[in-house]
């Protein structure tokens, strides 16, 4: 639902803005050079050297421009007292692989000063889910070509979390493409490109034009090089032009193939584990066999499957040895494992093949291995560790003894007014408040009570043309299911031959307040993030993932309480979801990579939100969505000095790249986040029952501008659509 804008104003920085730019330039320069050797021994390719030197020169040019400008007396005095404001912090980042991305010309150095209100209203992206309709088409390749493609992708940032089988399947679908000398593979500024390439034969040059000037060659691609991989994430405009120096043979993979292969592989893996392997595992308890299929519900089985990792052993490798202690449980996916005991010396007493398992006692406590297991052939196993299970599910010993502890759900005692039920003729329509995903939002006044509401008008033509009927009905169902003081309240749905109408309470946009202030205090940030947490607890307890957190999705009522205001991307989640959607600044790594996700994406988004509310910018903000995606996958966050230890620790715990280790996804759920020291002493019950004072109280809006054109003129061009859904209770 869109909301009322309360006099948004742009933030102007003046000389203070220049000072902030200087401080950020110095800090960014430090960030670029942090943890790097003075002798430059980390530079391994011309691409690396060109890219780093270009970034440094641009930053220094920016610094010199502001530093040499004549400052006012106030800005000069401020500069004399000011220290650099950022400290680079690594947030669970993978080890850097120099030269892995092979992007010699892309400039991702554009940064934003903390607290500068230069933002535009951001909208979510929603891409068609590829795994349902995708049909894999394997292209035959010579072994040396498969090896060339595999070596090109396996160390790349985008592919680093893909397992061995996934990488092999991705190599399967690369197709050959031929270009002649002087052919252009793609041009700087072109958008909509959806393919990534690996060079088999030939050489290509990379050219960049700055601000419409002449093109300069920035580097070359040759045999074994990967380029254009970020087109597998977004169709953003290209930052360079790539031209063939000679006739070239390339191999390419398209975005829908990449997402289809990865999504289907992960989906099949989860299905294999939850239906074939995990159900038949049992744990010994008082001479009984407690089978997983009887101990865990379907959602918990999917969670267990998500904790499972794959590991490969070569023929002759020892997997476990007799008498050693272990905390790892193994299930054989493929291959044969010999089992030995010391009493029989080198003669195996049995052989275990696919579907068999061993080491299950280690899930309960440290297990002294009773036998040695050795790979008779090449073997691939699924493994679970006790530490992972205890962290996310809980202690299996305690669960077997006492059962699963009940999940806490905080309930509000507020008595809310009854929902209203109106027809269109009961309402007087006013001017436009904003835009929704499928149309616009207008103010509407009930003729009987003269109370104002927000009326979202969803175009039936747009919905049907884009195949979004299920999405609209899903949003309606979720809005009707959730009844929480910090989630937008849908009163009723109506329709005519051209529109679907959702009638909801009308509120003020939080982003308008943020535009005026630039950023919020720590207390304000704590208050608003706590409201989001309580809303998340209600959603997640109903197996609903939100997926669209950002300041633009939050609203304030007249008393200043924070409300999640747009549930267009919310969805029921009993296992894993694979749809690529959300705001680019807030996407979790697992969404970008297409490996499947659950409600953990909401806690990643919360970490981004806390950072943005307090500093004024998102932590991974960049020149375009592609640059943002790179930063998200690297997981490096620069914290201003003003960020306190508790806030920094909370953000880092929420921005954990491994979703199975992310705060909020662990066994304590939302309560784990609420118990973090950042919220020490916070009155959760007072907030839930709206008994504590909000940071800002807002004046109710009593006037809305009239319609700019009569309804009959405005809607006459809208086509009539024969789609009439039933809106029940």
Mean pLDDT of 632-650: 95
What the block records as the tokens of 395 is: 């202690």
pLDDT of residue 210: 86
Question: What distances in angstroms separate CA 349 from CA 175, 334, 543, 666, one per listed residue?
Answer: 48, 20, 47, 40
Cβ neighbours for 593, distance < 8 A, ≥ 6 positions apart: 158, 161, 162, 262, 633
pLDDT of residue 72: 34
Longest distance between any two alpha carbons in the chain, whole Å: 93
pLDDT of residue 84: 27
Residue with tokens 């309360």: 6
SS3 217: strand
Positive or negative, the CA dihedral 164, 170, 172, 174 is negative
pLDDT of residue 59: 56
Give the angle 576-127-544 at the CA atoms, nearest 5°. 35
Nearest of 68, 50, 59 to residue 29 by alpha carbon: 59
Least confident range of 34-43, 600-609, 638-647: 34-43
Give the angle 197-198-202 at the CA atoms, nearest 5°. 110
Count of alpha carbons within 13 angstroms of residue 76, beta-carbon side: 6
pLDDT of residue 547: 94
Residue with tokens 């998340």: 536
Burial of 87 (0-12, 13-18, 19+ CB in 10 A): middle
SS (H, E, C) 391-460: HHCCCHHHHHHHCCCCCCCCCCCCCCCCCCCCCHHHEEEEEEEEECCCCEEEEEEECCCCCEEEEEEEEH
pLDDT of residue 618: 95
DSSP H helices in 68-184: 73-81, 143-154, 164-173
Mean pLDDT of 431-450: 86
Cβ 486 vs Cβ 564: under 8 Å: yes
Q: What is the DSSP letter of 360?
A: G
Q: CA 443, CA 453: separation in Å to the nearest integer?
A: 6
User: Average pLDDT over the chain, rounded to whole?
Assistant: 83
Q: Is 548 a catalytic residue?
A: yes
Highest averaged pLDDT of the listed ranges 23-37, 432-446, 504-518, 643-657: 643-657
pLDDT of residue 467: 85
Cβ 577 vs Cβ 545: under 8 Å: yes
361 pLDDT exceeds 60?
yes
Q: Burial code of 516-536, b = ≥16 C-beta within 10 A, e = fewer?
A: eebbbebebbbbbbbbbbbbb
Nearest of 178, 203, 201, 195 to residue 252 by alpha carbon: 195
SS3 376: coil
Burial of 316 (0-12, 13-18, 19+ CB in 10 A): exposed
Give the angle 140-144-145 at the CA atoms, nearest 5°. 50
pLDDT of residue 693: 93
Least confident range of 120-124, 375-379, 476-480, 651-655: 120-124
Cβ 586 vs Cβ 618: under 8 Å: yes
Question: What distances in angstroms separate CA 706 from CA 427, 498, 696, 718, one per listed residue?
Answer: 13, 21, 28, 21
Cβ 462 vs Cβ 438: under 8 Å: yes
Q: Residues 461-465: contacts with CB within 8 Å, 24+ apart? A: 461/498, 461/718, 461/719, 461/721, 462/438, 463/438, 463/500, 463/721, 463/723, 464/721, 464/723
Tell me how crowded residue 591 is: count the other CB atoms within 10 A of its CB. 24
Mean pLDDT of 289-309: 93
For 217-255, the pLDDT digits (tens) are: 999 999 999 999 999 998 888 889 999 999 999 999 999
pLDDT of residue 130: 67
pLDDT of residue 444: 94
Question: DSSP string covering 532-574, please?
Answer: HHHHHHHHHHTTEE----SGGGEEE-TT--EEE---TT-EE-S
Mean pLDDT of 531-538: 97
Q: CA 271, CA 294: separation in Å to the nearest integer?
A: 17
For 93-152, the pLDDT digits (tens) are: 333 333 333 333 333 333 323 333 345 678 778 777 667 889 999 999 999 999 999 999
Separation of CA 589 from chain center: 5
Cβ neighbours for 288, distance < 8 A, ≥ 6 positions apart: none
What the block records as the tokens of 349 is: 């007493």
Cβ neighbours for 153, distance < 8 A, ≥ 6 positions apart: 159, 167, 170, 171, 198, 226, 229
Question: What distances in angstroms separate CA 61 from CA 26, 54, 651, one per listed residue?
Answer: 11, 11, 32
Tell which wins on pLDDT, 401 or 656: 656
Tell which wins on pLDDT, 173 or 573: 173
Q: CA 371, CA 359: separation in Å to the nearest integer?
A: 10
Q: What are phi and psi of 494, to 5 degrees?
A: -135, 170
Percent of the chain with pLDDT over 70: 81
What the block records as the tokens of 608 is: 């981004």
pLDDT of residue 170: 97
488 pLDDT exceeds 80?
yes
Least confident range of 215-219, 409-413, 483-487: 409-413
DSSP H helices in 82-154: 143-154
Mean pLDDT of 480-493: 94
Highest averaged pLDDT of the listed ranges 203-207, 235-239, 459-463: 203-207
User: Of these residues, 367, 509, 548, 585, which one is catalytic?
Assistant: 548
């Amino acid at each position: 639902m869109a909301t009322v804008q309360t006099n948004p104003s742009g933030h102007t920085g003046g000389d203070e803005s220049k000072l902030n730019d200087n401080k950020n330039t110095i800090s960014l320069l430090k960030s670029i050079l942090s943890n790097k050797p003075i002798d430059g021994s980390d530079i391994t390719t011309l691409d690396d050297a060109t890219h780093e030197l270009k970034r440094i020169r641009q930053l220094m040019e920016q610094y010199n421009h502001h530093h040499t400008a004549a400052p006012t007396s106030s800005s000069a005095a401020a500069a004399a007292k000011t220290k650099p404001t950022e400290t680079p912090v690594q947030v669970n980042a993978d080890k850097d692989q120099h030269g892995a991305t092979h992007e010699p010309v892309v400039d991702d150095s554009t940064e934003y000063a903390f607290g500068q209100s230069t933002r535009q209203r951001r909208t979510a992206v929603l891409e068609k889910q590829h795994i349902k309709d995708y049909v894999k088409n394997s292209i035959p390749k010579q072994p040396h070509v498969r090896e060339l493609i595999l070596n090109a992708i396996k160390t790349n940032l985008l592919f680093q979390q893909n397992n061995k089988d996934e990488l092999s399947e991705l190599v399967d679908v690369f197709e050959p493409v031929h270009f002649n000398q002087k052919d252009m593979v793609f041009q700087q500024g072109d958008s909509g490109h959806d393919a990534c390439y690996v060079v088999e034969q030939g050489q290509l040059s990379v050219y960049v034009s700055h601000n419409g000037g002449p093109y300069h060659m920035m580097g070359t691609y040759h045999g074994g090089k990967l380029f254009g991989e970020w087109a597998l994430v977004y169709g953003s405009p290209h930052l360079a032009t790539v031209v063939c120096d000679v006739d070239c043979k390339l191999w390419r993979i398209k975005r829908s193939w990449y997402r289809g292969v990865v999504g289907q592989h992960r989906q099949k893996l989860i299905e294999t584990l939850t239906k074939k392997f995990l159900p038949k595992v049992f744990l010994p308890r008082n001479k009984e066999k407690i089978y997983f299929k009887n101990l865990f519900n379907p959602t918990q089985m999917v969670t267990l499957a998500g904790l499972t990792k794959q590991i490969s052993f070569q023929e002759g490798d020892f997997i476990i040895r007799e008498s050693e202690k272990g905390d790892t449980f193994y299930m054989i996916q493929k291959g044969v494992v010999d089992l030995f005991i010391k009493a029989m010396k080198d003669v195996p007493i049995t052989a275990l093949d696919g579907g068999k398992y061993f080491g299950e006692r280690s899930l309960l406590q440290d297990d002294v291995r009773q036998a040695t297991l050795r790979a008779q052939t090449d073997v691939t196993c699924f493994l679970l560790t006790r530490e992972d299970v205890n962290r996310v599910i809980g202690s299996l010993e305690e669960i077997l003894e006492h059962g699963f502890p009940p999940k806490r759900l905080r309930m509000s005692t507020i008595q809310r007014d009854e929902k209203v039920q109106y027809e269109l003729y009961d309402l007087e329509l006013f001017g436009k408040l904003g835009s929704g995903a499928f149309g616009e939002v207008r103010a509407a006044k009930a003729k009987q009570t003269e109370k104002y509401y927000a009326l979202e008008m969803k175009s039936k033509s747009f919905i049907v043309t884009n195949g979004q009927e299920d999405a609209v009905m899903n949003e309606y169902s979720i809005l009707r299911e959730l009844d929480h003081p910090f989630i937008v309240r849908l009163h009723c749905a109506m329709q005519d031959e051209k529109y679907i109408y959702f009638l909801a309470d009308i509120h003020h946009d939080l982003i308008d307040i943020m535009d005026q202030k630039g950023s919020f205090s720590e207390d304000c940030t704590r208050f608003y993030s706590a409201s989001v947490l309580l809303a998340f607890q209600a959603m997640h307890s109903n197996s609903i993932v939100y997926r669209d957190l950002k300041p633009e999705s939050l609203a304030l009522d007249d008393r200043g309480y924070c409300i999640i205001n747009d549930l267009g991307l919310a969805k029921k989640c009993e296992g894993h979801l694979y749809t690529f959607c959300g705001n680019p600044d807030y996407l979790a790594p697992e969404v970008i990579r297409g490996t499947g996700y659950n409600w953990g994406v909401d806690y990643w988004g919360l970490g981004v939100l806390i950072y943005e509310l307090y500093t004024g910018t998102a932590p991974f903000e960049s020149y375009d969505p592609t640059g943002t995606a790179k930063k998200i996958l690297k997981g490096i966050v620069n914290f201003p000095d003003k960020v306190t230890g508790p806030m920094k620790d909370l953000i880092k715990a929420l921005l954990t790249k491994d979703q199975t280790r992310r705060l909020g996804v662990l066994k304590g759920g939302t309560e784990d986040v609420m118990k973090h020291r950042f919220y020490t002493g916070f009155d959760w019950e007072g907030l839930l029952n709206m008994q504590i004072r909000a940071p800002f109280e807002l004046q109710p809006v009593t006037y809305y501008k009239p319609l700019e054109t009569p309804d009959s003129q405005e809607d006459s061009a809208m086509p009539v659509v024969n789609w009439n859904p039933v809106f029940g209770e």
